[in-house]
């Protein structure tokens, strides 16, 4: 980088993650969204924050605990992040208590506190407590023989301060009540007690109302619900374990009891009780979050699921089969004619299911190979692969056991496939297999000496093989019979399974081998073209941009005159106000009804265009510690379609778009559009309407 520019000051990644959640939280205040959907977005922020603390907070808490000041992660960095997190949480509860719940009450949906219950409702709740709750509660009074109990990650608990003495005459005045996870967190009151409305009670309020009955002969002086979040990133030394699956199963148990990183208590929690809990979990005071409501807002998602009312939810839209597929015709024969794009969720994931089903039922198909990362609870793909084995086909599944928070589901998949005789491999030691590939080999035609030949058909995707999230996430996938792409897929599957040297790829870019280098090279080509006076344009769409080398390369390209548009949903560490950019790099984030998940990399240098889709975000972990793929879009018509639907519409969006400003702040584009009396336009809504027509 030229010496005339000062060192590049990148945006803090953790700050950027919290800023993303601030944008998601804004949807909970969107008056154009139905109320229960607004509540969902509030709950999503809680789930996101849980993961943030579970994965990102431990080094910061350790730095605070050890008073570290001379490193990138130190006391000051943690204090800044904690301040942002506390403000975000406070805003969550303000929106919940002052906007969403009052508005839902006007629509006949109530979360009824103990103080607001009628006598009949209290009697019903009391019976429910006695029959369903009390038998599962075992209060633990703390004394030398009953030390502070193990508290599982994100579990609901109560701490209680008691007066008097126990049955043995001892003054143990602190008790812990653990709430079993088997109990539902929301309970709907019977219709005859709800005045023709929908009324619910929270489990925490049910227990709180009957807490004193758990301690006969003693007085409850103070109490609070509490919840501790623990570091949950599994660390397994793959080089040192004989059976990764067994090691991960053990690790899943230990995950619930990792180091504490956050403590949530009721806003009125007694100061002594709060201090006692902080000491028990060895947490600094910045890790204490006093909340005005349920300590786990993510569980309010049950209210959005249980409450009824079409006017309270998004109008559903039914994804169509891919517009490039002809119904009731062989998908194999159609793929031979051209590459077929599927733009989810506007087009249905059922096209992928249909492709796999045809492969399973086709007697000429001899082999099916697939990567498994996050599959969800829909069992259809698992059952199809099992059926393929029973039909005598060779089935190989590359199951990523280390997919964060999906480890147990993937272990179950692996065992289910192995039980019928499928070949299951777990990827490469030290790398996560994040590539999304499905490869089918089929005997066709008369080849050499009149024998049939193997024809390859493939499916590659920017998103997971998960039918549920395929209705909520925007992704682009492609069905192809391109021999260069499918041959590369075969080589990559063989490399993952047998760990032989990966041959030279003809079309696929593969991390950690050449994807990072190739992307740096394409940015450099644009930079050199701009310096030579040629037009150069880069448009990138992804979920996160945190790889420093790629960020530095983009800044250099921008300073050389390349126009760079970045559509980054989540964390982005690139400072758009860096000296010398002069507005040539623009960063926007689309936060709307659907979760933007597709990865599109477009380069135009002079008159030469190239476009790549990918499973990888531009993060160091994706480029260096994962097996990822990126594939070219050779068909000009498909390039135009992707550029328009995934990129240009997002750049035109004035409703769901946020613009990154100087200092790392994001501004909603809609505020500027309304100020200028411009038409407000949503890319997602436009695509929903376009595909519906």
The catalytic site residues sit at: 434
List the structure tokens of 35: 């109320």
Cα–Cα dist 543/552, whole Å: 18
Question: DSSP character for 143?
Answer: B
Contacts of 417 (CB under 8 A, 6+ apart): 382, 385, 386, 389, 395, 397, 399, 424
Q: How many other C-beta atoms are found inside a 10 Å radius of the C-beta of residue 397?
A: 23
Give the pair of three-digit tokens for residue 365. Answer: 């198909």
> What count of residues does the chain have?
693
DSSP strand pairing (394-399 vs 423-425) = parallel
Residues 6 or more apart whose CB falls under 8 angstroms from that of 608 comprise none
Q: Are strands 432-433 and 626-632 parallel, antiparallel or unpaired?
A: parallel
Q: Which tokens in the block code for residue 533?
A: 């006076």
For residue 647, the Cα-to-chain-centroid distance in whole angstroms is 21
SS3 of residue 172 by DSSP: coil
Helix/strand/coil percentages in the chain, nearest 5: 40, 20, 35
CA distances from 634 to 456, 480, 482, 537, 640 (A): 18, 11, 10, 18, 11
Nearest Cα to 505, choosing from 630, 337, 371, 622? 630
The two tokens of residue 56 are 């990102």
C-beta neighbour count of 286 within 10 angstroms? 18
Contact 614, 601 (CB under 8 A): yes
Question: Which candidate, 177, 186, 174, 184, places its Cα nearest to that of 227?
Answer: 177
The count of C-alpha atoms lying within 13 angstroms of the C-alpha of 390, restricted to the half-sphere facing its C-beta, is: 10
């Amino acid at each position: 980088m030229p010496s005339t520019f000062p060192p590049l000051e990148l945006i803090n990644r953790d700050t950027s993650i919290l800023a993303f959640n601030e944008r998601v939280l804004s949807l909970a205040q969107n008056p154009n969204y139905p109320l229960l959907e607004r509540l969902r977005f509030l709950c999503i922020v809680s789930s996101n924050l849980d993961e943030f603390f579970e994965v990102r907070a431990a080094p910061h808490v350790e730095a605070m605990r050890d008073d570290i000041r001379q490193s990138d992660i130190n006391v000051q960095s943690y204090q800044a992040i904690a301040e942002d997190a506390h403000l975000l949480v406070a805003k969550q509860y303000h929106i919940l208590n002052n906007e969403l719940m009052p508005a839902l009450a006007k629509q006949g949906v109530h979360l009824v506190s103990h103080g607001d219950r009628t006598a009949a409702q209290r009697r019903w709740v009391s019976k429910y407590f006695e029959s369903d709750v009390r038998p599962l509660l075992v209060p633990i009074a703390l004394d030398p023989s009953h030390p502070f109990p193990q508290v599982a990650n994100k579990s609901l608990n109560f701490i209680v301060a008691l007066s008097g003495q126990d049955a043995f005459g001892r003054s143990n005045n602190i008790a812990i009540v653990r709430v079993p996870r088997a109990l539902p967190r929301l309970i709907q009151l019977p219709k005859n007690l709800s005045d023709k409305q929908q009324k619910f009670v929270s489990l925490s309020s049910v227990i709180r109302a009957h807490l004193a009955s758990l301690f006969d002969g003693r007085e409850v002086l103070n109490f609070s619900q509490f919840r501790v979040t623990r570091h949950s990133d599994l660390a397994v030394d793959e080089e040192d374990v004989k059976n990764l699956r067994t090691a991960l199963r053990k690790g899943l148990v230990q995950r619930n009891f990792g180091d504490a990183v956050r403590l949530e208590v009721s806003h009125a929690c007694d100061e002594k009780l709060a201090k006692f809990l902080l000491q028990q979990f060895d947490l600094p005071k910045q890790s204490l979050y006093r909340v005005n409501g349920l300590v786990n807002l993510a569980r309010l998602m049950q209210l959005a699921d249980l409450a009824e009312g079409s006017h309270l939810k998004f109008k559903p839209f039914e994804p169509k089969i891919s517009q490039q597929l002809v119904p009731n015709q062989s998908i194999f024969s159609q793929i031979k004619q051209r590459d077929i794009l599927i733009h989810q969720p506007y087009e249905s994931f059922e096209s992928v299911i249909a492709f796999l089903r045809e492969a399973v039922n086709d007697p000429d198909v001899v082999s099916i190979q697939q990567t498994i990362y996050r599959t969800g609870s829909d069992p259809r793909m698992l059952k199809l692969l099992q059926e393929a084995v029973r039909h005598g086909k060779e089935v190989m599944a590359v199951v990523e056991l280390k997919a964060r928070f999906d480890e147990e589901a993937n272990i179950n998949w692996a065992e289910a496939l192995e039980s019928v005789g499928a070949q299951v491999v777990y990827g490469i030691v030290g790398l996560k297999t994040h590539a999304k590939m499905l490869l089918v080999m089929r005997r066709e035609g008369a080849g050499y000496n009149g024998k049939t030949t193997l024809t390859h058909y493939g499916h590659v995707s920017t998103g997971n093989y998960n039918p549920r999230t395929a209705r909520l996430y925007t992704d682009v996938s492609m069905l192809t019979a391109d021999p260069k792409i499918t041959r590369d897929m075969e080589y990559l599957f063989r490399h993952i399974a047998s760990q032989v040297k990966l041959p030279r790829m003809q079309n696929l870019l593969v991390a950690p081998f050449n994807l990072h280098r190739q992307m740096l090279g394409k940015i450099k080509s644009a930079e050199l073209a701009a310096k030579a006076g040629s037009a150069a344009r880069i448009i990138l769409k992804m979920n996160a941009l945190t790889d420093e080398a790629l960020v530095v390369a983009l800044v250099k390209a921008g300073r050389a005159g390349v126009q760079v548009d970045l559509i980054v949903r989540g964390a982005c560490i690139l400072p758009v106000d860096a000296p010398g950019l002069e507005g040539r790099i623009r960063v926007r984030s689309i936060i709307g009804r659907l979760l933007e998940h597709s990865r599109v990399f477009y380069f135009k240098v002079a008159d030469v265009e190239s476009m790549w889709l990918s499973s990888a975000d531009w993060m160091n972990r994706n480029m260096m510690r994962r097996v990822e793929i990126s594939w070219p879009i050779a068909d000009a018509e498909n390039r135009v379609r992707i550029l328009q639907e995934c990129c240009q519409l997002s750049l035109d969006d004035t409703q769901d778009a946020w613009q990154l400003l100087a200092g790392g702040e994001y501004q909603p584009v809609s505020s500027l559009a309304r100020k200028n009396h411009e038409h407000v336009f949503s890319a997602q809504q436009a695509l929903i309407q376009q595909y519906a027509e």
